[in-house]
Amino acid sequence: MKIVIQRVSEASVTINHDKVAEIKNGLLVLLGIVEDDNQEDINYLVRKTANLRIFNDENGVMNKSLIDITGEVIVVSQFTLYAATKKGNRPSYIKAAKPDIAIPLYECFVQTLEKEIDNKVQTGQFGADMKVALVNDGPVTIIIDSKAKE
């Protein structure tokens, strides 16, 4: 499981001209899932997402977490995080989990994150053609792969 975390001052997701998610200060999380991901991967990434100290304190130092600032979150499924680009110019997505595996893991990630931060997590819609808009604050963008733990 892989996530791209972006610290945002605002973000939104629109599907068919309808805004389905919108936040101010918080995180936009893009989530990619592979077939062998499980609850351990979810727990690891949820803890990282909630506790990364990437928000500024009163001295302008990145020393506060999402929990500390009571920030908002949008989670968007993003199978393209597992694009294979070694051969040719057309990415292959064969590593990405199929919907029957990915959807339950995606939903579990969202539910686990909601419990961890004690806050509602907004989402896009799995498999939909989404328009994601954001103002990356910093910019701060962090990529975490649950299979590459230190």
Each residue's pLDDT tens digit, 97-114: 999 999 999 999 999 999
Does the pLDDT at position 150 exceed 90? no
Name the 3-class secondary structure at 37. Answer: coil
Residue ranges per structural domain of the chain: 2-145
Each residue's pLDDT tens digit, 32-81: 999 999 999 999 999 999 999 999 999 999 999 999 999 999 999 999 99
Report d(CA 33, CA 105) in Å as an integer.
8
Element containing residue 40 per DSSP (H, E) = helix 39-51
Here the tokens at position 3 are: 């996530």
Q: What is the pLDDT of residue 149?
A: 76
Confidence (pTM)? 0.95
Return the biggest CA–CA distance within the chain: 48
Please check whether residue 1 is in contact with residue 41, taking contact to mean a CB–CB distance below 8 angstroms: yes
Tell me the fold of 2-145: D-tyrosyl-trna(Tyr) Deacylase; Chain: A; (3.50.80)
| Catalytic residue numbers, as ranges | 80
Here the tokens at position 94 are: 């064969």
Percentage of residues of the chain with pLDDT beyond 90: 97
